[in-house]
Every structure is written in structure tokens, then in C-alpha cells.
Amino acid sequence: MENKTAKKITPSKIIIQIILLIWAVINLFPIYWLASFSLKNNTEIFGENIIGLPRHWIFSNYKAALVGGKVGLYLMNSLLVTGITVALTLVFGITAAYALTRMKWKGQKAIMLLFLTGLMIPIHSALLPLFISMSKLSLLNTYLALIIPYTAFGFPMAIMIISGFITSIPKELEESACIDGASIYRTVYSIIVPMLLPAITTVAIFTFIQYWNELLFAQVFINSENLKTLTAGIQAMYGQYQTDWGSIGAALMIATLPTLAIYLCMSGQVQKSFIVGAVKG
């Protein structure tokens, strides 16, 4: 008896699979190129073997980047700054989004509009006033010089995404918790937050990627060699007369790995967030 549940292979499905395969190769090629780039010397990089695998695998490029280029130190600085930024953005974003969507108070809509207006302001347009403010507050060459503006500019996006998810949660859950004697903080962090995991993951990934790769603020606000983030530190590896491009490729590969790891671990929640948003729309 023919299996009725068997999926039929049609020409349209084959074409779709081929297109998806080509798209995957296009997206994965830069990672392959960077990985091979990081294991070559300058002769191969600028010679005929630009795209192919290295003829001589130079793993010492990674040692040169981590030790000589201080990429290990820059990596820890970036993890600290970006990690704190993501944590603060989520805490402030969740509490503000809950207050703006669930509580009733005067000026609620105006404040929401004010926060969302921040989405239209490019972060680097505030470079000069922020530099003056940081200088007067003696915050230049400190981690706070990056954490404060990063958190402030990540705040509007967090509110927009999280508030959209909160409005889809039934109010009866909060009313039941209130009847049981739960405080507002207990209600938010024990009932609301677990239901916001897709939104929280989305905000965390977008915030991490945006400020992990930020360069201009990191260059202007941080001059101390021991406080530089990865982007500024790798930029400083370029030599005036000679540059070891293999070591820079290794540094770039090291800088790429945390982003790939975080996305691979959290991609399931991001997909859920898109599905919820589509169903809600």
C-alpha cells in the first residue's frame, strides 16, 4: 500500500532547495574566507591563492594575535562592556515596557513616544555632546564611557520589542497573581519575564551584535591600551609601514566567534519571536 503521508518531490521544491543551498553558501563564504585568511601569510593573502585554502597553515597567527596583539585582553574588555550593556538594556527595557503598557498614568503615551523617538536618532550623531559630558564627568577612559551611551541607545529598541510582546500576554495572569498576594516585582519577574524569552533573546542578540562591533565611540572615548575593546584594539594592529595581515585575520576570526556562538545558542528563541510577531500581526 502506498504511503499517503510520504512527501512528494516536485520540481518546485527542488528549485527552492537549490536556491536555499546557494543562499546558504553565499552567507557562509565570508566565514570560510576569514578562517582561511587567518591561517595565511602576507605572500599568500596578496598572491594568487586569495580564496583557496592556505598552502602552509600558519596557526602561529593566532598566538601572535592573542599575545603580541593583546587580542585576549581586548576580548575580555569587549565581553565586559557588551555583557553589562545587554544586561542593563534588558532590565531597564523590561521594567519600562511593563510600566508603559500595563500601568495607567498621566503622560504615558507621551513618554512612550519620547522613548520610541530615540530609534530615529543615529548613535554617532551624539558623539560630540557625549564626549563633552563624559569629559566633564571624568568618565573618559573608563568602561562607563561606553556602557552608558550603549545602554541609552539600546533602550528604545528594547522597549519597542518587549512592549509588543507584553500586550499579547493575558492580563488575567497578573490579576490572579495579585489575588494570590504577589507584589508587582514578583509578578513581573516570575510570570511576565518567563513568557518574554523570545523577545528577551531577540533584544539580547541585536544589542550584543550592534555594540560588539561598534568602533567610533570605542576609539574616541577610550585611549588606554588596557581598556580598549576588540574593534579599537584590532584597528590599532594596522602598522604604519608594515602589517601582518594574517594576525589581523586571526584577531577578526576570534572577534567573530562569540557572535556566532551566541546566535547559534539563541536562534531558536529568535525564530519563536518572529512566529509570535507574525501570528499577532
Instruction: Please write the tens of the pLDDT for every residue from 24-44.
Output: 899 889 888 888 888 888 888
3-state secondary structure of 59: coil
Burial 163-179 (b: 16+ CB within 10 A, else e): bbbbeeeeeeebeebee
**How large is the average pLDDT for residues 56-65?**
87
DSSP calls for 172-238:
HHHHHHHHTT--HHHHIIIIIHHHTHHHHHHHHHHHHHHHHS--HHHHHH---TTT--HHHHHHTT-
Report pLDDT for 3.
Answer: 52
Angstrom distance (rounded) from CA 275 to CA 76: 35
Q: What are φ and ψ of residue 115, in 5° steps?
A: -65, -45
Question: Does the pLDDT value for residue 93 go beyond 70?
Answer: yes
7: in domain: no
Domain CATH for 78: 1.10.3720.10
pLDDT at residue 118 in the model? 81
User: Does position 242 have pLDDT exceeding 80, yes or no?
Assistant: no
Which one-letter DSSP state was computed for residue 41? -
SS (H, E, C) 90-138: HHHHHHHHHHHHHCCCCCHHHHHHHHHHHHHCCHHHHHHHHHHHHHHCC
DSSP 66-96: IIIS-HHHHHHHHHHHHHHHHHHHHHHHHHH
Task: Average the pLDDT over 255-277 and give the result.
Answer: 71
Average pLDDT over residues 67-72: 84
For cell 513581573, name the residue.
Answer: 188
On whether residue 262 sits in a domain, the answer given is yes
Q: How many domains does the chain have?
A: 1
Residue 251: how many CB atoms within 10 A of its CB? Answer: 25
Name the least confident of 42-46, 87-91, 150-154, 262-266: 262-266
Q: Any idea which of 67-76, 148-157, 269-278 has the lowest mean pLDDT? A: 269-278
Question: Where on the phi/psi map is residue 141: left (φ > 0), alpha (ψ -120 to 50), or beta?
Answer: left
**Phi, then psi, of 186 in degrees rounded to 5:** -65, -40
Residue 52 lies in a domain: no
User: Which cell numbers in the block locate residue 206?
Assistant: 541585536
CB contact at 8 A, 201 and 273: yes
- Residue 18 domain flag: no
- Residue 8 inside a domain? The answer is no
Residue 249's SS3 state is helix
Residue 5 within a domain: no
pLDDT per position as a tens digit, 172-198: 888 788 887 878 888 888 888 888 888
| 81 lies in some domain | yes
Residue 244 falls inside a structural domain: yes
Query: Confidence band (pLDDT; 50, 70, 90) for 7?
Result: low
- Sign for the CA dihedral angle at 26, 79, 203, 119 comes to negative
For residue 69, give its domain range. 64-280
Does position 231 have pLDDT exceeding 50, yes or no?
Answer: yes
CA nearest to 250, candidates 81, 51, 67, 80: 67
- Given a cut of 80, is residue 275 above it in pLDDT? no
